[in-house]
Chains A and B, each alone.
Chain A
Amino acid sequence: AQSVTQLDSQVPVFEEAPVELRCNYSSSVSVYLFWYVQYPNQGLQLLLKYLSGSTLVESINGFEAEFNKSQTSFHLRKPSVHISDTAEYFCAVSDGLSGTYKYIFGTGTRLKVLA
């Protein structure tokens, strides 16, 4: 069965510093990969997704993630974080061959941006 591992439960980082949030998934022939962000007391919002094509995907607010098939990873990066990026980030995987559209979520990484 598909699984997702987010290795870091919490990541503190100073404002304007770079950050990487790690996500690894178990091997599958065809996967769709997502990063969702959850701000305090809110629902989840899609940050970016990889379905096919270019392995580097970007969001409108400066985050990017790279699909690495050989390492089964989809790490999220931002070169310079802001206080407003403080949130919980979830990596999710959908098996492209199952036809059920179900997601498997990681346990989340809480990003805390410090002034």
Chain B
Amino acid sequence: DAGITQSPRYKITETGRQVTLMCHQTWSHSYMFWYRQDLGHGLRLIYYSAAADITDKGEVPDGYVVSRSKTENFPLTLESATRSQTSVYFCASMVAGSSYNEQFFGPGTRLTVL
């Protein structure tokens, strides 16, 4: 199916474990983004990528690692999960240079760290 997908949709893990959240888009959009959504904070940018092999930090990057070896995939890894990383994570993508400047969002991953 075309679009942007995230997996898993729900994840429970324990403090200290490594967790990887997957994001896949079928549009070949250049830009991809990872956000976390927390009550009272809205959505905050964790990392973004302008193209394959090009990534940069957002507002709240600490404790997260990203990679982008292929245009369509943008995994987010929590190297050693902490309770403060309990959140809903959204991936988004966008066409570079688009006059519409619209980001398209995935359905989200709800992560609970015990």
Contacts and interface: CB of A to CB of B under 8 A. Distances in A.
B48 A102 contact: yes
Interface in A13-57: 32, 34, 36, 42-46, 49, 51
B48 A106 contact: no
A23 to B, nearest CB: 11
A103 B100 contact: no
How big is chain B's contact interface, by range? 20 to 34
Interface residues of A, number: 22
B107 interface: yes
B48 A43 contact: no
B41 A46 contact: no
B42 A108 contact: yes
A90 interface: yes
Given A51-B99, A51-B100, A102-B48, A43 B105 contact: yes
Given A42-B107, A101-B94, A101-B96, A94 B42 contact: no
Interface in A56-99: 90, 94
Contacts of B94: 101
A36 B102 CA distance: 10
Interface of B: 31, 33, 35, 40-45, 48, 50, 56, 58, 90, 92, 94, 96, 99-103, 105-108
23 contacts: A6-B42, A9-B40, A32-B101, A36-B105, A42-B107, A42-B108, A43-B105, A44-B43, A44-B90, A44-B105, A45-B105, A46-B102, A49-B101, A49-B102, A100-B48, A101-B31, A102-B33, A103-B43, A103-B45, A105-B35, A105-B43, A107-B41, A107-B42
In the A-B complex, the 4 residue pairs with the smallest Cβ-Cβ separation, listed nearest first, are: A43-B105, A107-B42, A105-B43, A44-B105
